[in-house]
Amino acid sequence: MTILEETEADFDGIDRVNREAFGGDGEASLVRKLRENDHLILSLVAKTDSGEIVGHIAYSPLSGHDSGAGLAPLSVLPGFQKSGIGTQLVRASLPILREHGIGFVVVLGEPEYYSRFGFERADERGLQNEYGAGPAFRVLELRPDGLEGVAGLIRYAPEFGEL
């Protein structure tokens, strides 16, 4: 398994992973729109040795918080789930985000899954979300001062409003 930044040749494979993982076109369409609007901070694919794209992770900017990024979507083809690919995608992405100067990442997701990477409850760090999510809204500080001066409502990129 290789983890790589997306290239144009990967776009169809990314579409497929998102459609099959989520069972619909919503997330695939979201990724296309983020890409079209230059709102993808980072998009990584997991490729098998034969070149099949079996996993994908995307990060987009947060409205009003230049130093933050929203993790979404994260997807692995159903036949490849629970074999560590999602974990590899998250772990590979974090140092790249740090290099991009990102100070914190938020995610709406399964608390148990994301806590393994150090994500904490965002409300306990003074952050709210637009979706009324409680413990599922998580945050990870990527550097010691990553959340300095960051408080209140965190908004994802506008494309999420169309999901």
Ligand X SMILES: CC(C)(COP(=O)(O)OP(=O)(O)OC[C@H]1O[C@@H](n2cnc3c(N)ncnc32)[C@H](O)[C@@H]1OP(=O)(O)O)[C@@H](O)C(=O)NCCC(=O)NCCS
| Contacting residues toward ligand X, per CB under 6 A | 21-22, 73-76, 81-87, 109-110, 112-113
Q: Looking at beta carbons, which residue is closest to ligand X? A: 86
Q: Look up residue 109 and give its amino acid.
A: G
Query: Looking at beta carbons only, is 63 or 81 nearer to ligand X?
Result: 81
Query: Looking at beta carbons only, is 76 or 147 nearer to ligand X?
Result: 76
Minimum separation from the CB atom of position 84 to ligand X (A): 4
Q: Please check whether residue 110 is in contact with residue 136, taking contact to mean a CB–CB distance below 8 angstroms.
A: yes
Q: Please check whether residue 74 is in contact with residue 110, taking contact to mean a CB–CB distance below 8 angstroms.
A: no
Burial of 28 (0-12, 13-18, 19+ CB in 10 A): buried
Minimum separation from the CB atom of position 149 to ligand X (A): 27
Minimum separation from the CB atom of position 7 to ligand X (A): 21
Query: Looking at beta carbons only, is 49 or 143 nearer to ligand X?
Result: 49
- Nearest 10 degrees: Cα torsion 125, 62, 42, 101: -60
